[in-house]
Structure 1
Amino acid sequence: MRTLLFIVIAGIAGLIVLSTVAPLIGLFLTLALGYYGVRRFLLTDSALGKLGWAVLVLIALSMSISNTPALVGIVAALLLYYAYRGYRKAPEGYEQEDWMID
């Protein structure tokens, strides 16, 4: 029963992660663009340059907010990870035999 439940959860979470690959890539790219813009904003000395980088950061922020389906994909990937980790854990009361001779 435990294996069947794991297979069902893994199948559903895997399909969700696969269906949100494009928004995940878009979220990654827009967050990277925003990070680059913030770094350049902090390093720029001119006021016009700071204004340009601030506009770029705001554009990247609005683009990353529009990738909300990527958050569902991240949650599904975490669910898949924790389900796999819980499945691989030894059941309670199970002792692994020591195969090494003292």
Structure 2
Amino acid sequence: MKKFLLFLGGLIAALLLLANLGPLVLLGVSIWLLYLVFKQFMKTDSTMAKIAWVLIGLAIISIGISNMYAVIGIVAAYILYVIYKNWNNEPKEPQTTDDPFVNFEQQWGEFNKY
């Protein structure tokens, strides 16, 4: 049952990721362009050029903000990652042996928790 729910969650997350692939790409491009504008802003010494770069940067920020649906795609990608990591995780049962050294290590670990 757990694997089925993980599969179902992964399928939904994959569909959300594919549906938001366009906004993800456009958000990435706008972040890259904003980085380039910032580099040019820092290079220039002219006040008019700095004002122009700020205006261009504000236009690019507005493009980036309009693609906030990409955040849904990022969350879906993270959910896919978590499902991939937890796919074969099964809870381990504590081992009980008669070996005194193993029991000592377990007791020492419990002692160090506090």
Q: Which runs of no fewer than 5 residues in structure 2 stay unpaired?
A: 96-114
Give distance in 1, aligned partners of 2:88 and 2:60. 40
Instruction: Give the Å deviation of 1:94.
Output: 8.1
TM-score w.r.t. length of structure 1? 0.86
1:50 is displaced (CA, Å) by 0.6
SS at match of 1:38: helix
User: Which 4+ stretches in 1 moved above 6 angstroms?
Assistant: none
Give the aligned length. 95
**Identity level (%):** 34
1:6 is displaced (CA, Å) by 1.1
- Which of the pair has more CA radius of gyration? 2
1:81 corresponds in structure 2 to 81
CA distance in structure 2 between the partners assigned to 1:49 and 1:88 by the alignment: 56
**2:30 corresponding residue in structure 1:** 30
RMSD: 1.5
CA, structure 1 residues 56+88, in 2 after alignment: closer, same or farther (shift >3 Å)? farther
Question: Aligned partners of 1:56 and 1:21: how far apart in 2?
Answer: 25
Q: Give how far 1:92 is off.
A: 2.3
What residue ranges of structure 1 are gaps of 5+ in the alignment?
A: 96-102
Residues 1:91 and 2:91 are matched in the alignment: yes
Give the TM-score normalised by the residue count of structure 2. Answer: 0.77
Question: Matches of 1:36 and 1:94 in 2, distance apart?
Answer: 55
Distance 2:89 2:33 in 1: 39
* 1:7 to partner: Cα distance: 0.7
Matches within 5 A, 1:12-91: 12-91=12-91
Deviates more, 1:8-17 or 1:49-58: 49-58
